[in-house]
Amino acid sequence: MAKKIDSQKVMLDHSLIKVKLLGRYLDKYLNIIANDGYTEKITILDLFCGEGIYENGGKGSPVIILENVKKLLHINSGKIAKMPQINIVLNDIKQEKIEKVKSIVAVKDLHVRGSGDLKFTNLDYKDLMPKLISFAKKLKNEKAFVFIDPYGYKEIRATEIKSILETKKTEVLLFLPTQFMYRFDDSGTPESLIDLLDDLVVYENWERNDSVIQFIDQFKEGFKKHLGPEYFVDTFTILKDKKTMFCLFFFSSHIRGFEKMLEAKWDIDREEGRGWTYEQSGNLFSAFKTNPLEGGLLKYLVEKPRNNIEIYNFTLHKGFLPKHVNEVLTQLQVDQKIDVNLPDGIKARKGAFYISYDHYKSKESKVLITLK
């Protein structure tokens, strides 16, 4: 019988993709925050940091975090008048893991002295969360990013994630073993999952699911309803093998940070062959499948005409990027299903939709899009 591989010691493919997404996002996130001219301090917290380097040489989350900070400081050396202080907290309940991380940081010289504080703690998650919530509430000209990659999920609570986000100065990336949670849901829900579900929905209203994808979608919608419309939630699924799927949940109150995470997600989707493909409704397969963004957008436009700011916000809430909705709008325009007009009623230039963060930020209502 083959010996079972310990995924906490040996980096498997799904863990590689997980930290790749973490790294891609931090690369985008840190560059934006460091250059915003407002933020004085950035704190990155890895609540289950592990050992740092796997036995097969794979880089864990603390190494990815420290490498990204070091890269940011190197690239922007002399370019930013005042670089924000970047503090890093690496936590793991197992002291031996913390000691290994400390050793790796020292040997590889991963921490840039003078850039900010580097703290190592070994607190239990349930003891750490009240401290983290209190810390988040005190943030002023600061930002915080929290990475939660638990050894299980029994202590995860949606209410605590919401408390971290409420100051609107934090982002949270949560990794959950959704396949195992789904299996429990299918065969008899364990008490720990009931506790998490009760945070999201009235448990009696939780629907049994035919697949782990439906389970994840229902979980995501539960998070959205629990957090409210001012928060953004999206997922990134990772297939370990034919029967096992994990999922990263990303939470933010800031639309720009959310867009950067979506960019990181879609970058990796393209590499892994799961990326965006626009299949317009009305093609050979339309009886069986409608492009989810197009379908949602058409329903959104049925309610009333929408301006470019509203469509930008809608698109990101759906987990898509401006370039994706531009493709959909372009085809709808070609098919003469929409009218695109300037505020004075004059028809806009063909293909000009103005779906971007810059127009959203400046509240520029450039066009009004109406469904014919």
Question: What is the tens place of the pLDDT at every residue in 229-239?
Answer: 899 999 888 87
pTM assigned to the model: 0.85
Q: Has residue 300 got a pLDDT over 90?
A: yes
The CATH code that applies to domain 13-272 is 3.40.50.150
**pLDDT band with cut points at 50, 70 and 90 for residue 77:** confident
Q: Rounded distance, CA 173 to CA 252, Å?
A: 9
Is residue 336 over pLDDT 60? Answer: yes
- Name the residue ranges covered by the structural domains of the chain: 13-272, 292-371
Average of per-residue pLDDT across 221-227 = 86
* Strand extents, DSSP E, the chain: 41-46, 85-91, 118-121, 142-148, 170-176, 232-241, 244-252, 306-307, 338-341, 368-371
Reading across the β-sheet that carries 368-371, which strands appear in turn?
306-307, 368-371, 338-341
Backbone φ and ψ for 170, nearest 5 degrees, come out as: -130, 155
Q: In DSSP terms, which residues pair with 338 in a beta bridge?
A: 371
Which residues neighbour 15 within 8 Å (Cβ) at sequence distance 6 or greater?
A: 7, 54, 58
* Alpha helices, DSSP H, located in the chain: 13-34, 61-75, 95-108, 125-137, 158-165, 178-187, 191-200, 212-227, 255-272, 292-303, 308-317, 322-334, 357-361
